[in-house]
Chains A and B, each alone.
Chain A
Amino acid sequence: MTRINKTSKFAIKGALAALALGLSAQGALAEKVKVGLLLPYSGVYAALGNDIQAGFELGLETFGKEYDFVIANEDTEVKPPQGLAKARKLILQYKVDVMAGIVSSGVLGAVRDLVDGAKVPLIVANAGNDDATGAKCSPYITRMSFSNAQVNRPMGKWLAEQGVKKVFTLAPDYAAGRQMIDAFTASFTAAGGEIVGQEYTPFRKTQDFGPYLAKAKASGAEAVFVFYAGGEAISFVKQYDSFGLKKDIPLYGSGFLTSSLYVNAEGPAAEGVITSLHYVPTLDNPENKAFVEAFKAKTGRLPSEFSAHGYDAARALVEALNTGARGREGIANALRSVSFTGPRGETSIDPATGNIVQPIYVYETVAGENGLTQKVLASLPVEADPANGCAMPAPK
């Protein structure tokens, strides 16, 4: 695998020049595949970008030995215009065969039309906006991460089945927050539950969750269901615990709340929080064990769901190549019917929407030997997202 390193601009030019001249150091057997990675390496999601990249590289090393990958990394800075400019650079200048990455839904929204118009396959490795595989779907976009609704929908039914009937919900006031809560609310109320209060907090501007927690407490809810991620998740979980709410009103949420990436910054406050997610590092299957071992050997830390997105995105690319698909059109087409058993279990792409179909796990954060760990309580059935207005011709 040739890596176009961010730290060396000249390596990029060198590698591309070598490519243009058809000089392959690895001989004629290895096939060159040019991959553009669009990830945030600075800004609020830098940690996610690095985790996804580590997973992606590991995936290519593990599954794609027979191909010679040339990777170009570009920093989106989590800014949509920046992401679009970098995507154009990858497509038009580096002429990549396939792109992968994208953490924020805003960046995905910005590059969507470009990718669709230029007919370049894009493997989404995080951004969960429902529309990307709904009304705004494209045969060139396959998502190997999750959709906001997918992660939370099964949780509504599950929670109602546990006998919880009255829930208060909280989330940051932005598109992902609303999509996650809406999906939970729909399935929870359909299963007989009642939402006794619903609040959206100003996104990344809320230092003190106290006012909302007092409201939740006064609402008479049996449980609180929330979506928060990153820094906000840490503040929220800590403050929830410090108010002593956890024992009276258990905290449930979307699994990003207690992601293994930052759960240890939450500390004991996260113990006992029950959430749903598509991947946790403690999943008990041989594929995951191998992944966790290899990831630890490579980076010295446990993988998170973000590393799993990267790992599986790489795997999906290799699986698509293994079908004999070549070139942008071919790879895009093959990606749409990829399926394999990976660390997350049965994983496949729904050809109708381009979204991933995967099991959702309910897990509890518990104290382990080396800090907090995840205890899987239930594996919820695999369900494809509804088409949500997505109409595309079937893959060839």
Chain B
Amino acid sequence: MAADATTPPARPHALRRFLDSDLGWSFRRSPTAVLGALLLAILVISAFAAPLFAPQDPYDLSQLFVDKAELPPVWVQGGEWPFILGTDPQGRDMLSAILYGTRVSLAIGLASVAAAMAIGVSIGLVAGFFGGRTDMLLMRFADTVLSIPTLLVAILVSAIFRGLLPAGIRDNFSAVILIGAIALTGWVQYARTVRASTMVERRREYVLAARIIGVSAARIMRRHILPNTLTPVLVAATLNLGLAILSEATLSFLGVGMPVTRPSLGTLIRIGNQYLFSGSWWVVVFPALQLGLIVLAVNLIGDWLRDALNPKLR
């Protein structure tokens, strides 16, 4: 509504505003956060720009050469340019496979965190706002979900959906199944966080003022309460992104995740694991290293964010 009349005429760029804000100030003062952000930026950009510079398209079988199979990295004797990190037993360039695999892992991680957040935040809002029997029912359900081991649920969900889908199209949906499986086990934490802050916020007087006007419960939850409960959710989401990427890798490693034709980092580690004892260490070490770097970068940012947004630590 008439934004031009109310906002100052020249609003600085979003990045500039972030760096000038309280949060930006704490970001600039935290070397770990800057390191994490830089690392993550490099990983994300290299992964999503991979088609532009990767030596090979690992999804294109015509580019794989069996005679170039199991080449070691270039700095080891027998290594060959341009296969910097060597090749796997199918003749796939490891660097390309890792970059494409990172893309898959990041996308699945982000999507599953977003899905878990959507489920958890909605359930937490409803439970906290209405309280009473609704709250009890939803939170006992959440407790039940939490009492079943995460991996077991994820394997079950993956297995059930893969069983339901015909074999021909199964692989096309494996990413969606993975996202669903991780989200269905990961939402409880968000629900609990949001419920707790909702129960505080709904008693605040600005919510009462809106109720007296006659604003509907759905609008109060969305417009008043949700923005005021989102800070802890964002911290949890950042920290959980690392966990979600690890879950995806675990499921793929166990063989219920991404297929060999569209490998994620977990799939690459599973393939590499079989060659570990034959001396081809590079097939498993580099994907594992990449996975570790991603989780490290995400957790560095998450740790900083948790401290920066905690009013007691300022």
Partners in one complex: no
